[in-house]
Amino acid sequence: MMKKEVIEMAQVIGQPLKRQEDIRLIRGQGQYTDDIKLPGMLYAYILRSPYAHAKILSIDTTVAKTMPGVVAIFTGNDLKDEVGLIPTAWIPPDSDLHVPPHPALAYDTVRYQGDGVAVIIAESPYQAQDAAFKISVQYKPLPVVTDPRDAVQDQAPLVHSEIAHNIAFHWRAGDNLDDIFSQADVVVKQQFRQQRLIPSAMEPRCAVADYHGATGELTLWATTQNPHIHRLLMSGILGISEHKLRVIAIDVGGAFGSKISCYPDEVIVSWASQKLHRPVKWTETRQENFLVTTHGRDHVEEVELAGTRDGHIQAVRVKVYANMGAYLSTAAPGVPTILFGLIINGAYKIAHASSEVFGVLTHTTPVDAYRGAGRPEATFLIERMVDLYALAIQMDPLDVRKKNLIRPDEFPFTNPFGLEYDSGNYQATLDKALQIFNYEEFRRDQENLRKQGKYIGVGFSTYVEMCGLGPSEVAGAVGFQGGLWESATVRVHPTGKVSVFTGASPHGQGEETTFAQIVAEELGIPIEDIEVIHGDTAQIAMGWGTYGSRTTAVGGAAIHMANQKVIEKARKIAAHKLEVNEDDVVFDKGVFMVKGLPARSIQFQQVALDAYLAWNLPPGIEPALEGTAFYNPKNFTYPFGVHIAVVSVDTDTGDITLMRYIAVDDVGKIINPMIVEGQVHGGLVQGIGQALWEGAEFDNQGQLITGSFLDYTVPKARFFPRFETAHTETPSPHNPLGVKGVGETGAIASTPAIVNAVMDALRPFNIFDLPMPLTPHKVWNAIRQAQLSS
Amino acid sequence: MVSERFPVTLTINGQKIVRDVEPRTLLVHFLRDDLNLTGTHVGCDTSQCGTCTILLNNQAVKSCTILTVQADGAEIVTVEGLEREHLHPVQQAFWEKHGLQCGFCTPGAMMLAAYLINQEGPLTEEAIRRQLDGLLCRCTGYENIVRAIKRAQEIIEEGDKERSQETAQSTWG
């Protein structure tokens, strides 16, 4: 057993240390996948369907094959019998889920604009593209459906002929609430559209595959959030044993969920490299990124809330048509079900809740996780409903929140779906936010400005989310086809320097530093002596990657456990050297000391050297010093907080100006406050983007009409005021570090805060709901309609 | 097909480079693929994102929007050329102020910043936000990029003060 001891904080955890990974990144020495260049490397260009739904009649590659530099051209027919289908790895139980076959290249029918039909492999990327333009494909266009409500109708064209009504799955949770709703004082009904978003990581996806015929080994550099999951899935698709497959993702230029999936493109280059015995690279263009990298959200939600006249929420229920796109992407079915449907009561003590979700196939780009994945949709739903309910009973929305928030003495709190919220003090974050924001003063100003014809509004979002995804038993129970534990090895070198190997695969969030801080603190060594290694399946035996804000809560906890193993062994060696009983040795700030005799001590680094020299180790102790741990968390963690947005609406133009944004988050124990704040900022901009500017649109032929940064508004710096952020710290009891997770909070909380604020500003016009994004045109139109009808 | 190649001479990060290039080669591809200067990144096809920003004759330019042959004779600085003996004030400031997360837009953001801080007089926060219009960053929410650019201006001011003190001391010395 590990000894319990109090290690005095060496003040590394909790410090805003500059990030270690930045040194290479600010020098332009990052190693992104597209930076990889191998001798003899070939370049792939994937020819994609211009139609959203069509039969492929013929593909003529005769001319293209003669083009300069062209090495090979493959079509779907070449691949279909040699590589497996692209898998779906989340099968929610009791959902009657049908996985439609997803070939790496379409060979019969294309099902969304961007579906690949051929790959051209040439000596240079320009040559591959030249040849692609010379391929002639004959299509027979077929009827298209893009809206999930249209797609379930009897006469709708089928995306996959074997899946009736295009319903890939039908999932329910919670009880029948008909009686409660029929007897309630107040019932509020609303339909929401969670519009489709395009993650738009700044780095387009890329894959470089290098097959060695002599060893049968395939190395794949890829833009992925989870190299080991990729290895597992790719080994099945390609039929290569895992130990012969190496997946590497060192620097990844943003992902936000869009780099979780296993994509056809990675499969194509891997197979091509096997075929051609040369390295093959494929780099996505931004246009392809818009078309084929997974999108996020896209729900039509019919929501009902039941409550009393005095502000007690009794029940909430939702029926969702979730647009899954043309195929079920890797984690997609889990998003609108497990990650959304089980937390629609939000931060409130609501006795009854139920969710019903139809996963619907349409002729659009497949969706998958996007920052927050399911929880932003759930938070939006309940936070907007709270405001609409407050309006219905003529109560202040803040008072409704105060009345229904789960109280600090009610934790651990079991929500109506059985999720157990770990710890929380929701009132404390609200109090802190209201210290920053003077609500009474705002309402006075609002009243005065209205008299002058100026419209400002405030919106609240009191949220809770689940993250720190694990434990593995729960993963299994909810149909995730993988584990959610995490691995760590802390390898101490003879000089006392340390390499940390983590199975989590950070991609910009700063965990090289966060993890180094945990090791520096616990082993009492300089942070400069620690290197964190991730994103390479050859160096790390197993791991489950970074998504769902799990990295520090699960991966960090694994490192903590590995540290304890190192200390345990080092203490034995130190005790032997100090010639005392192991129990008489204390470890503090990197020094092993004899209890009560601080002068008799030995440095951690000396113990490390002794462990390697092995000249004089205690009996039964093996040489070397390292610890490996596999941490399977007890449960999810539940960050929470309060966000307040203040906006003004220009009624002449419909323009919305963000005046203030206050975010008070509780993400459990904070290891690096600078990194935590940065994560909040990034999330805010994406969540506010959804409320005000972002939205993917397809026309009725399934053409993506927001297919570039010219048509799809990714927010810019000038759209924002300075963010006002603050924190409370309620440790999670679920992991030894007390951390919860921060990566998604901003994106989860901010969207409803903004929409609530705009609706508050527009109340004098009797405008109570508008679909996102709240573009000037939409807002202006609504105001004009209101003015005309009054 | 275009197979004819044209000679270009450029000065890149202080080094004279002479090469024959296909006339359609974009400068960003020339930098990345021919010269292995992979710090400059490609983020879009429409000149919106700014991750490929470099300094071309001291102007911030998107290197995906210019042909290599057009840049013939120019003096170019890429992210690899920012640092001399020490980190450039912009690199130092981005590091200090957590002005980057995934780091992909960072080289372009820093080259734009290096251009901005060379303008007359220090920029206000509002002006910085306006001037960042040619840059898309999906990680930082821009807040820390703005802080970093302000900090870079300070570092330069501090450096100027130190230098003028040194000059004053040597004059008196």
Whole-angstrom distance, CA of residue A655 vs CA of residue A645: 16
Q: Are A464 and A343 in contact (CB under 8 A)?
A: yes
* Residue A641 phi, psi dihedral angles, 5° rounding: 165, -175
Q: Using CB atoms, which residue from A28, A675, A717 is nearest to B39?
A: A28
Residue A687 near chain B (CB below 8 Å): no
Q: What is the pLDDT of residue A3?
A: 39
Where would I find the beta strands (DSSP E) of B29-142?
A: 53-56, 59-62, 75-77
A426-467 residue pLDDT tens: 999 999 999 999 999 999 999 999 999 999 999 999 999 999
Two structure tokens written together for A244 = 């012969």
**Taking a contact as any Cβ pair under 8 Å apart, which residues of chain A between 55 and 74 contact chain B?**
67-68
User: Which residue of chain A has the CA closest to B109?
Assistant: A26
Average pLDDT value for chain A:
97
Q: What's the average pLDDT block by block, 10 residues per block, for chain B (173 residues)?
A: 84 98 97 97 96 98 98 98 95 98 98 94 94 98 98 92 68 40
Continuous segment of H or E residues that includes residue A148? helix A148-151
Q: What is the pLDDT of residue B167?
A: 62
Q: Which residues of A touch B145 (CB under 8 A)?
A: 717
* % residues pLDDT > 90 (chain A): 98
Q: ipTM of this predicted complex?
A: 0.96
Two structure tokens written together for A212 = 């060695």
Two structure tokens written together for A560 = 């903590």
Whole-angstrom distance, CA of residue A645 vs CA of residue A360: 34
Q: Are A786 and A765 in contact (CB under 8 A)?
A: yes
Name A541's bridge partners.
Answer: none
**DSSP assigned state of A202:** S
**Taking a contact as any Cβ pair under 8 Å apart, which residues of chain A between 485 and 524 contact chain B?**
507-510
> Is residue A512 helix, strand or coil?
helix
- How does A207-222 read in b/e, with b if 16+ C-beta sit within 10 Å? bbbbbeeeeebbbbbb
- Tell me whether residues A682 and B141 touch, CB distance under 8 A: yes
Burial environment of residue A619 by CB neighbours within 10 A (0 to 12, 13 to 18, 19 or more): exposed
Q: Using CB atoms, which residue from B43, B80, B145 is nearest to A204?
A: B43
Q: Which residues of A touch B146 (CB under 8 A)?
A: 717
Q: Are A101 and A110 in contact (CB under 8 A)?
A: no
A177-199 residue pLDDT tens: 999 999 999 999 999 999 999 99
Q: Is the dihedral of CA A369, A374, A376, A377 positive or negative?
A: positive
Average pLDDT, integer, range A468-492: 94
- How does A507-524 read in b/e, with b if 16+ C-beta sit within 10 Å? bbbbbbbbbbbbbbbbbb
Q: What is the pLDDT of residue A5?
A: 38
Q: Which residues of B touch A197 (CB under 8 A)?
A: none
Q: How far is A508 from chain B (nearest CA, A)?
A: 3
Q: Is the dihedral of CA A82, A88, A91, A96 positive or negative?
A: negative
**Taking a contact as any Cβ pair under 8 Å apart, which residues of chain A between 177 and 216 contact chain B?**
199-204
Q: Which residues of B touch A711 (CB under 8 A)?
A: none
Q: What is the pLDDT of residue A2?
A: 37
Whole-angstrom distance, CA of residue A464 vs CA of residue A268: 41
Q: How far is B54 from chain A (nearest CA, A)?
A: 12
Place of tokens 């590995």: A562
Pairing of strands A656-666, A530-533: unpaired
Nearest to A224 by CA among A205, A243, A198: A205
Q: Which residues of B touch A296 (CB under 8 A)?
A: none
- Tell me whether residues B136 and A716 touch, CB distance under 8 A: yes
Give the residue ranges of DSSP H helices in A426-579.
426-436, 439-451, 472-477, 511-523, 557-578
- Tell me whether residues A681 and B140 touch, CB distance under 8 A: yes
Q: How far is B26 from chain A (nearest CA, A)?
A: 11
* Residue A765 phi, psi dihedral angles, 5° rounding: -95, 5
Radius of gyration of chain A (CA): 28
Total Cβ atoms within 10 A of residue A29: 15
Close Cβ partners of A80 (under 8 Å, ≥ 6 residues apart): A103, A105, A107
- Tell me whether residues B102 and A507 touch, CB distance under 8 A: yes
Q: Which residues of A touch B38 (CB under 8 A)?
A: 28, 32, 34-35
- Tell me whether residues A18 and B98 touch, CB distance under 8 A: yes
Residue A285 near chain B (CB below 8 Å): yes
Q: Using CB atoms, which residue from A200, A681, A684 is nearest to B144?
A: A681
Mutation pick from A25, A197, A221, A286 vs chain B, by most beta carbons of B within 10 Å, is: A25
Mutation pick from B77, B96, B104 vs chain A, by most beta carbons of A within 10 Å, is: B104
Q: What is the pLDDT of residue A4?
A: 38
Place of tokens 């909790």: A14
Whole-angstrom distance, CA of residue B173 vs CA of residue B167: 10
A235-279 residue pLDDT tens: 999 999 999 999 999 999 999 999 999 999 999 999 999 999 999
User: Which residue of chain A has the CA closest to B32?
Assistant: A35
- Tell me whether residues B138 and A254 touch, CB distance under 8 A: yes
Q: Using CB atoms, which residue from A21, A32, A126 is nearest to B104?
A: A32
**DSSP assigned state of A467:** B
* Residue B131 phi, psi dihedral angles, 5° rounding: -70, -15
Q: What is the pLDDT of residue A439?
A: 98
- Tell me whether residues A708 and B106 touch, CB distance under 8 A: no
Mutation pick from A22, A34, A41, A202 vs chain B, by most beta carbons of B within 10 Å, is: A202
- Tell me whether residues B98 and A709 touch, CB distance under 8 A: no
- Tell me whether residues B43 and A28 touch, CB distance under 8 A: no
Name A355's bridge partners.
Answer: A173, A318
Give the residue ranges of DSSP H helices in chain B.
27-29, 89-96, 106-116, 125-131, 143-172
Pairing of strands A352-361, A313-325: parallel
Q: How far is B170 from chain A (nearest CA, A)?
A: 34
User: Which residue of chain B has the CA closest to A198?
Assistant: B138
Q: Using CB atoms, which residue from B46, B87, B141 is nearest to A709?
A: B46
Pairing of strands A280-283, A42-48: parallel
Q: Using CB atoms, which residue from A26, A510, A680 is nearest to B91?
A: A26
DSSP-assigned states of every residue in A189-255: EEEEEEEEE----SSPPEEEEEEETTTTEEEEEE--S-HHHHHHHHHHHHT--GGGEEEE-SB----
Q: What is the pLDDT of residue A365?
A: 98
A1-40 residue pLDDT tens: 333 333 344 589 999 999 999 999 999 999 999 999 999 9
**Taking a contact as any Cβ pair under 8 Å apart, which residues of chain A between 623 and 682 contact chain B?**
674-675, 677-682
- Tell me whether residues A203 and B41 touch, CB distance under 8 A: yes
A347-356 residue pLDDT tens: 999 999 999 9
A692-745 residue pLDDT tens: 999 999 999 999 999 999 999 999 999 999 999 999 999 999 999 999 999 999
Q: What is the pLDDT of residue B169?
A: 57
* Residue A358 phi, psi dihedral angles, 5° rounding: -105, 120
Angle at alpha carbon of residue B5, lines to B2 and B11, rounded to 5°: 135
A100-154 residue pLDDT tens: 999 999 999 999 999 999 999 999 999 999 999 999 999 999 999 999 999 999 9
A–B interface: beta-carbon pairs under 8 A: 182
Two structure tokens written together for A586 = 């204390």
Residue A21 near chain B (CB below 8 Å): yes
Q: Are A381 and A343 in contact (CB under 8 A)?
A: no
A755-765 residue pLDDT tens: 999 999 999 99
Residue A30 near chain B (CB below 8 Å): yes
Place of tokens 């992979």: B38
Q: How far is A285 from chain B (nearest CA, A)?
A: 7
Q: What is the pLDDT of residue B163?
A: 74
Q: Which residues of A touch B87 (CB under 8 A)?
A: 26
Q: What is the pLDDT of residue B3?
A: 65
Q: How far is A168 from chain B (nearest CA, A)?
A: 32
Q: Which residues of A touch B79 (CB under 8 A)?
A: 26-28
* Residue A775 phi, psi dihedral angles, 5° rounding: -75, 155
Q: Which residues of A touch B138 (CB under 8 A)?
A: 199-202, 254, 256, 682, 685-686, 714
- Tell me whether residues B46 and A29 touch, CB distance under 8 A: no
User: Which residue of chain A has the CA closest to B89?
Assistant: A26
- Tell me whether residues A710 and B142 touch, CB distance under 8 A: no
